[in-house]
Amino acid sequence: MSTSALVLRTRLLLKARFRHLQALAMLVELGSVQRAASAMGLTQPAVTRLLADLEGWLATPLFHRHARGVLPTNVCRDLMPMVRQSLRGIDAAAEAVADRSALGQGVVRVGASTAAINGLLLQALPAFHGQHPGIQVQLRESEWVDQLAAVGRQELDLGLGRQSSVPPQGWRFEPLQADTFAVVCGPQHALARKRRLRWSDLQDQVWLVPPVDALARHRLEALAQEHGLRMTVSPLITRVSAMTWAMLQQQELLTLVPASVLAHACANGALVALKLPQPLPYAPLGLLLPETEVSGASGRMADFLRAWSRSRDPH
């Protein structure tokens, strides 16, 4: 008869320590008791005991043993999301306590999309730290869906990106910065030297197209249909901005992306945003923040980003 989930939960709550979770993570990552023990600063018998504890409490093997080390079982793989989240929480808590002790002004955990990082934070964040050197910003790159999940796990204080669905309960989206779609190429491309384009100039060009689920892909196909454009498609399809940047610099390619995604590259001359016959509007970038008053370090960062965006609004 199998052990019930309630019994297993009780055993883990009463007996397991973070050291057990760390040992599990190290064994999965390194595949060896010896290497895990060395990484943790423990002896091999100590790591073996930690693993034996977990397997005893859960009443199931967590690894397959073989001559060269260990391989995780399916049960172990099922445990790893919880283990990694718990260890990340310990890391974040340690950083927050250390920062508050050293600087006393707090920590802001920020999730930001690629567009928000390139179009806003690359310039705004250094300026923010110039004004608030005592605030630590823990920044991770994540798109809207990942930010919503992180909000549910209470891992974010602020989100930055483009609203594409309803915010979670208790949170709201606040637009900060207008955006458009842009046709971008490398500075060596023949069209980069034209002061203003006609739609017919885009005829028979080679395009680095976004993935089929990207809004930019739908906008590009609508543009081609509207103006009767024939397009040759590059064999690479990617949403990785660094790869897009490299391809545009090295080959005679065009792409259509939100202007914010490659804003930094265009600002420093590495890429060129073409002068189109008319703008191609897109949804704005903005803040995902709690509906309640945002105060402390998070409030100061939100206020700074609002002021920063207003100062750069041409209207």
Say if residue 55 is in the same domain as residue 172: no
Say if residue 23 is in the same domain as residue 57: yes
More confident residue, 239 or 95: 239
Q: What CATH code is carried by the domain that includes residue 265?
A: 3.40.190.290
Encode pLDDT of 87-133 as tens digits. 888 887 777 666 555 455 688 999 999 999 999 999 999 999 999 99
Say if residue 242 is in the same domain as residue 296: no
| Mean pLDDT across 22-46 | 95
Say if residue 110 is in the same domain as residue 149: yes
Q: Say if residues 73 and 63 touch (Cβ distance below 8 Å).
A: yes
Spatial separation of the C-alpha atoms in residues 120 and 125, rounded to whole Å: 8
Say if residue 184 is in the same domain as residue 131: no
Last residue of a domain, one of 69, 94, 119: 94
Say if residue 166 is in the same domain as residue 289: yes
Encode pLDDT of 206-218 as tens digits. 999 999 988 999 9
Say if residue 293 is in the same domain as residue 161: yes
What are the C-alpha distances in Å from 104 to residues 18, 96, 156, 158?
Answer: 27, 10, 20, 20
Spatial separation of the C-alpha atoms in residues 260 and 136, rounded to whole Å: 25
Encode pLDDT of 149-195 as tens digits. 888 888 899 999 998 778 888 999 999 999 999 999 999 999 999 98
- pLDDT value for 3: 72
What residues make up the domain containing 31? Answer: 5-94
- pLDDT value for 25: 95
Report how many domains make up the chain. 3
- Neighbouring-strand partners of residue 116: none
How close are the terminal C-alpha atoms of the chain, in Å? Answer: 71
Say if residue 159 is in the same domain as residue 30: no
- Neighbouring-strand partners of residue 289: 172
Say if residue 80 is in the same domain as residue 136: no
Q: What CATH code is carried by the domain that includes residue 73?
A: 1.10.10.10
Encode pLDDT of 37-96 as tens digits. 999 999 999 999 999 999 999 999 999 999 889 999 999 999 999 999 888 888 877 776
Does residue 8 have a pLDDT over 60?
Answer: yes
